[in-house]
Amino acid sequence: MRKKGIAIMKMKFRNLKIHQKILFSNTILFIIPCLILSICLFYFMQRKGNIQLNESRLVILRQIDENLEDIFEEIVPFSNYFICNTDINKIISRDSYPSGFQEMNALKEIRNYFSNSRIIYSNLDYNIQILGFNGKNYSLEDMGETTITYPDIEKIKKESWYPALQECSSAIRYIPAYRSEELQKASQESIIYAVKLIKNLNSGREVALLSIEIDQTLIQELFARGMNPHNPQFFIMDETGKIFSSTQEDLVGKNISLDTYIHKLTENSYGYFPARINGVLSQVCFVTNRTTGWKLVMYDEQKGLGWANNQMIILILSISVLYLLLTVLMSFYNSKYISTPVQKLKSDMDIAEKGNLSVRATIESEDEFGELGKQFNSMLNTIENLITELEEKEEEQRTLELNALQAQINPHFLYNTLASIRFLIEMDMPEKADESLVALVKLLRRTFSESRKLITVKEELSAVENYLILMCNRYQGTFEWDISVEKEAEECLIPRISIQPLVENSISHGFCSKTETGHIQITGSICGEDVIIRVIDDGIGGDSTKIQQMIDQGLGIRKTEQFNGVGVRNVHERLRLFFGEHYGLSVSNIQPEGICINIRIPLHYIPEHGQYEKSKKERL
């Protein structure tokens, strides 16, 4: 079925007019690359836009992270105010007091320090608790006016994060609120606790736990500063992969479950990647806090990256559409420009083939088509003149045949040649079509503008080469050819159109039933006082004796489409007419198949007046 469909498509394509084929081929040829280019540009512009957007998000996240670092940094001197105070250290280091009066004075003294801290650090709004190992607890909010619920220090010591604090007792450790049930008893609004062990300044004995509460509202304010019109969301994830703070409350307390996301977040200090959050495709950006190792994450729905808002992409698409329209218009123009003169020439040749030689091509352009039309008209004029002379002078039949040989290419041959050029254009082989057109123009120019009877072997081979180019492009893959002639032999004189009929005979008869690729070899060498030019083919071969008899006696000579009945024997007779009986054609067999036709001409020959004259313009 597939092969049948392809065959039907090929048939439909063959049945199209030439301008339709050119229009269709050019449109496909240009539209597909244009679409590919547009898609690539769209992809790279979209990718670049996403990268720039994500980089800007990283800048926002880094700013939020810096603000969080500022909070951590301002907590250090705030905590040191209590930890390094010798009076406070003495009070919390005592296991007991001799009297209740002294204990009340100690509490009053600590409350005074708390009050002073509010004045000194008036810009900080943190609650601080000192949980003594002696059972005495103090709080910035405990000024005797309200009852404060304090965490149980013994239970705190049993929580999972406490051993790590003991290992690094000299530094402040930040823990999410969910990791300490005891600390959360003091405040449900706190999201982060900054904790540090207080040691006796003299003995170094651990005497209390300092806890500073960081409220959720403070973190939300940091997130709010990074908001933009796209309304991205934020959350903070600790080292266990658990979210403990987020702009979306339903994410708080959840764990990042997918290993892929965890790997990307933990293996890199910052970056961005696509992910599904709550079932929505989003773009995730993250940075790592250097103090805690927590991940600050920003995510935004993918639809917020709408490419339609990108003016550059719209411009590229607009240019692509304009380019496609111009491609269609130019393809239509080119198809008309090429097909119109070809169709006109074809129509004129059809009329001429039917016998009406009064028709004339009316191509007004000055390009190859125009020149081809002029040569076609000149050919018809020549044919008409020859027909008139044939009617008037039957006795000059021999002379008229030689003059007709100058016309060389009849309308049928020209029609077939143009048809092959048209086929090359349809098959999208413009180089071959151009090569054939140039060769045909050169062949016609030499045919109609050349008046000399004798030309050099070099000039004759040039015409043969143009003929071989036409035939090779017409019968593609049928044969290959090669010309190799000695330099001195190229300057010898030979009657015009002496080699070409032999080449035509090899193509028409030697390769007519040959399935393999044929070969034509033309050589020229000096043999004594003569020059031997050989036309060798590896075609179906033949009886060289009979062929020689046909050449010598004129038996079996038949018309060919290229030469109108004047063929190989005519070449033999003209050679003998110019140079004498010693010269002409001879035939020999080539083993295992093939024919070799030898042309013998003199090395030195002085032509009669008018046979080999060139004007100064022709020599230049």
pLDDT, position 16 = 63
Across the range 313-319, mean pLDDT stands at 73
Using DSSP's 3-state secondary structure scheme, residue 112 falls into: helix
The structural domains of the chain, with segments of one domain joined by +, span: 84-218, 227-309, 480-614
pLDDT band at 158 (very low <50, low <70, confident <90, very high): very high
1 pLDDT more than 70: no
Helix axis angle for 397-407 and 430-449, nearest 10°, is 150
Sheet with 595-602, strands from edge to edge, namely 479-485, 518-527, 530-537, 595-602, 584-589
403 pLDDT more than 50: no
pLDDT, position 175 = 93
- Looking at per-residue pLDDT, the higher value among 615 and 467 belongs to 467
pLDDT band at 500 (very low <50, low <70, confident <90, very high): confident
pLDDT, position 600 = 94
pLDDT, position 120 = 84
pLDDT in tens, 271-300: 988 887 767 778 889 999 999 999 999 888
Across the range 382-387, mean pLDDT stands at 83
pLDDT, position 40 = 79
pLDDT in tens, 138-154: 888 877 666 778 899 99
φ and ψ at 15, to 5 degrees? -80, -10
Give yes or no on whether 84-218 and 227-309 have one common fold: yes
Taking the C-alpha atoms of residue 137 and residue 110, their distance in angstroms, rounded to an integer, is: 11
Sign of CA dihedral 312, 314, 319, 324: positive
Across the range 7-32, mean pLDDT stands at 66
pLDDT, position 311 = 64
Q: Cβ contacts of residue 573 below 8 Å, gap of 6+?
A: 584
Enclosing H/E stretch for 494: strand 493-495
pLDDT band at 615 (very low <50, low <70, confident <90, very high): very low
- Fold entry, domain 84-218: Beta-Lactamase (3.30.450)
Taking the C-alpha atoms of residue 449 and residue 460, their distance in angstroms, rounded to an integer, is: 14
Most confident range, picked from 364-378, 401-415, 447-461: 447-461
CB–CB of 597/585 below 8 Å? yes
Instruction: Compute and round to an integer the Cα radius of gyration of the chain.
Output: 51
pLDDT in tens, 414-457: 788 888 888 888 888 888 888 888 988 888 787 666 667 788 99
pLDDT-above-70 percentage for the chain: 80
CB–CB of 540/596 below 8 Å? no
- Give the range among 42-46, 113-117, 242-246 with minimum mean pLDDT: 42-46
Taking the C-alpha atoms of residue 260 and residue 311, their distance in angstroms, rounded to an integer, is: 34
pLDDT, position 350 = 82
pLDDT, position 561 = 37
Taking the C-alpha atoms of residue 286 and residue 269, their distance in angstroms, rounded to an integer, is: 8
pLDDT, position 229 = 52
Structure tokens given for 451: 């008046």
pLDDT, position 458 = 92
- Fold entry, domain 227-309: Beta-Lactamase (3.30.450)
Enclosing H/E stretch for 413: helix 411-426
pLDDT in tens, 206-224: 999 999 999 888 888 888 8
pLDDT, position 308 = 43
Nearest residue to 130 via CA among 219, 206, 72, 215: 206
CB–CB of 176/88 below 8 Å? no
Checking 449-452 for CB contacts under 8 A at 24+ apart, the result is 450/406, 450/496, 452/496, 452/611, 452/612, 452/613, 452/614
pLDDT-above-90 percentage for the chain: 18
pLDDT, position 4 = 65
Taking the C-alpha atoms of residue 523 and residue 533, their distance in angstroms, rounded to an integer, is: 6
pLDDT in tens, 52-95: 888 888 898 999 999 999 999 999 998 888 888 898 888 888 88
Tell the CATH superfamily of the 480-614 domain.
Answer: Histidine kinase-like ATPase, C-terminal domain (3.30.565.10)
Mean pLDDT of the chain: 79
Q: How many CB atoms lie within 10 A of CB 44?
A: 11
Taking the C-alpha atoms of residue 472 and residue 60, their distance in angstroms, rounded to an integer, is: 71
pLDDT in tens, 162-198: 998 888 878 899 999 999 988 888 777 889 999 999 9
Taking the C-alpha atoms of residue 620 and residue 615, their distance in angstroms, rounded to an integer, is: 9
pLDDT, position 233 = 85
